[in-house]
Amino acid sequence: MQQGEILVATVTAPSWGPIFGKIKATVTDIGGMMSHAAIVCREYGLPAVTGTGSASTTIKTGQRLRVDGTKGTVQILDAEEPELVSGPGAHSHTHA
């Protein structure tokens, strides 16, 4: 992970702690309000969208994204028509 990138993963774990100091946002397939990604992002003041179900397989490395932690959506900006990634279990997490 490079400084300022967005972490897109199936799920996160405590061993990933050092990554959160570099990233701008997190998007996960699995998780909710009490998931590791959501808790750590709240601590760092980062937006997170968890529980998308398919972000890690839909989003490709290098694509530009817009993560809206308030609405619980992730927009793929590089698609011919901007694509929205969310799912029935998507949870929004904003920084407070």
| Residue 31 CA neighbour count, 13 Å, CB half | 30
Superfamily designation of domain 6-93: Phosphohistidine domain (3.50.30.10)
Query: What are the boundaries of each domain within the chain?
Result: 6-93
95 closest CA partner among 40, 35, 23? 40
User: What value does the mean pLDDT of the chain take?
Assistant: 85
How far lies 22's CA from each of 1, 6, 36, 83, in Å?
8, 9, 16, 25
Q: Per-residue pLDDT tens for 6-25?
A: 999 999 999 998 999 999 99
Q: Annotated catalytic sites, by residue?
A: 36
- pTM surpassing 0.95? no
Q: Per-residue pLDDT tens for 65-90?
A: 999 888 888 999 886 766 667 655 55
State yes or no: pLDDT of 26 exceeds 90: yes
User: 31 pairs with which residues across the strands?
Assistant: none
